[in-house]
Every structure is written in C-alpha cells, then in structure tokens.
Structure 1
Amino acid sequence: MSEEEPLTSNVRPATDALITVRIIKSFPYRNVKNLIIKDIDLKSTTPAQLFTKVITEINTLGAFRPFRNVVYDSLKIYSQAHGSKSMNLVINFDNDKDLVLLEKGESISDKGLWDLGVRNETEISIFNWEEYIEYKKNPKEEW
C-alpha cells in the first residue's frame, strides 16, 4: 500500500494561505504583473479587504508604478491550484456570475474569500470592469 504525498496547495491551512493577484493594466496589450500575497486568512478576509490591500500595495511599491494610472474596481478568480486555466492569457472570461468577487467597487458578498471559493494558491485578477466588458466584446490582442 503506497501513501500519496498531499498536494502542496492543500498543506497550508486556510488561515495561512498564499494567493497570487494578477494586476491587469491593459487587456489588449496583455500588461499584467503578479503580486504574491502570503499569510492571508481566507476565512476572515473579505473581497473588499483584499481589494484595499492590493490597492495599497500598488500605490506604495515602486515595482507597480506603471500600474498606478488605472482605476481598478473589480476582482475575479482567474484559476485555482491544480485546476484548468483559461485559454486567454489575460483574464478568465468564463462564469462571471460565480467567479467575480468584487464588481465596480461593489462587493458581491460580505463572506470571507474561503466561502466564495478561494483556496490556497488561487490566482485572482484585479482590473477595471468597463475595460473588461469592452475587451470581452472583442478580445483582440494588440502589439
């Protein structure tokens, strides 16, 4: 009988998770920069609190200076650990109803991220909702 190793995404508790936030500056030009957030409590952190934390990081870290001229107002799950990823390299177009955590600055729920399906090693996108809708109508990539 062989013992299988647990998946690395399942080893960390929900109160000490790691997530990646994909900061999207431009959809057509695919300008995306990742922010790794460690030691986040998924059970007590709400989407609004995560949003505030990410905006603070964008406005204080020098690496995100080029990303400061976008009005970010939405959060959406891009992918889960060990799950399938979207064919689109910028954002996941699928299932807005279930994957959007914050839309136009309005929290979809006051529940914690855990209750909304965010797990350890989840990737979440932060972006401007109006630009997302425009890009979704015509997902043409520019150079």
Structure 2
Amino acid sequence: MDTAASTTVADDAQEQLDTIAPGGFHPFRPRLHDETENPETNTARPLTDAVITVRIIKSFAYRSMKALVIPHIDLTSVTIEELEEKCRKEVASTPSFKAFRSYATKLDTIKIYTRAHGSKTTNLIINLDHPEWLLDADKGRTLADAGLENEAELSFFNREDYEAFLADPTTKW
C-alpha cells in the first residue's frame, strides 16, 4: 500500500474515533449513493408500474384484516371496478386468504387508507378521518384519476359493516 493511501485510511480512522458519542456509540449518519438526490418513493416509479397495498377488511370491530400487495399495476388504465374484481379473485383463490374466502363476495367498497409519505390515522383498521376518500362515486374512473400514486394503501370492505362501525366505533377482542 502506498503512503498516500495509508495516510487517508489513518485519517479516516482518526475521524471516526473523534466522532464517537458518549458510551462508545457512533453517531447515526446514513449515507446515500448520491446525497444530493433523495427521491420520495411515490414518485420513484411511474404511474404505469406502481405498487399498491389493499387492506382486505373482514371485521372492523375485531380488526381482522389482511394486506394484499399488488405490484406492477398500471394506475392510468386500471379502473376502480377492475381493482375490486381483481381483489375479490385474489381473496377467493389465494391460500393465505382462506379465512376471508366466504367474505369475498361481500366486499364492495374501496377507501384510501393513506398516501405515501402522508400522515396516518390512529385507527389501525381504517381511516375514519376523510369521508371524501371513499372511491364509490364513479367506479369507472382510473386509479390515477382517483388520486392514487405509487405505494398508496387502500381499504376494501363491506359498506354496511363500515356504516355500522361509524355509528359505533368500538373494538372488541
């Protein structure tokens, strides 16, 4: 190893020793490949190749739900109605949704749970804060027209159960 390289290594080691916090801990400094660029994940992928998560809700009171991750979905061409049908088929045919199969035909409403990098609700099962996020007005709209982006989370549930939970939002064990 040449002298210049060994001097740089020694300087780096001394710098690390100088920055050790009390108790022998190193300060947390994550390093990105390019520290000038840190794209948010909702804009990192195009709308034609997004990843969304659909929370299939069986019971609001008992908070029983299972997440369905849908990769490589084209938000500019898939409609709300097509997404509902895709989710019903997944619930009815996927082994991990066995406990939800009998409930698949009752699922009829989609609501936005959260958008990527947005604030989340304190309710663990569904977002009760935004009634305007219900996607039932025009099911022929595309998901992009409904305001969805990459890494959005949606809730898919039975509307009657949702209305009953709004009237009495108590949870059970």
TM-score between the two structures when normalised by the length of structure 1: 0.91
Cα deviation for residue 65 of structure 1 reads: 1.1
Q: Tell which has more relative contact order, 1 or 2 (C-alpha 8 A, sep 6+).
A: 1
Alpha-carbon distance in 2 for matches of 1:113, 1:8: 18
1:34-55 per-residue CA deviation (whole Å, 9 max, x = no partner) reads 0000000001111000000000
Check the 8 A contact 1:100/1:108 in 2, yes or no.
no
The answer as to 2:66 corresponding to 1:33 is yes
More helix by proportion, 1 or 2?
A: 2
Structure 1 unaligned runs (5+)? none
**Residue in structure 2 matching 1:99, options 127, 133, 137:** 133
1:109 positional shift: 4.1
- Match of 2:166? 136
- Answer whether contact 2:81 2:139 (CA < 8 A) is retained: no
Letter of the structure 2 residue corresponding to residue 72 of structure 1: L
| Count of residue pairs the alignment pairs up | 137
1:116 Cα deviation from its structure 2 partner: 0.7
Secondary structure, counterpart of 2:135 in structure 1: strand
State the partner residue of 1:81. Answer: 116
Deviation at 1:108, TM superposition (A): 2.3
Q: Looking at secondary structure, tell me which structure has more strand per residue.
A: 1
Identity of aligned residues (%): 45
Distance 2:160 2:101 in 1: 17
After TM superposition, the score normalised by the length of structure 2 is 0.76
Which structure has the larger Rg over C-alpha atoms?
2
Q: CA RMSD in A?
A: 1.2
Shift of 1:4: 2.8
Partner of 1:113: 143
Any stretches of 5+ residues in structure 2 without a counterpart? 1-34
Q: Matched residues in 2 for 1:8 and 1:135: separation? A: 33
Deviation per residue, 1:87-106 (Å, 9 max, x gap)? 1111011222x21113xxxx
Structural mapping, 1:10-25, within 5 Å: 10-25=43-58
Aligned to 1:7: 40
**What do the CA deviations read for 1:57-82 (whole angstroms, capped 9, x no partner)?**
00110110101222111100000000
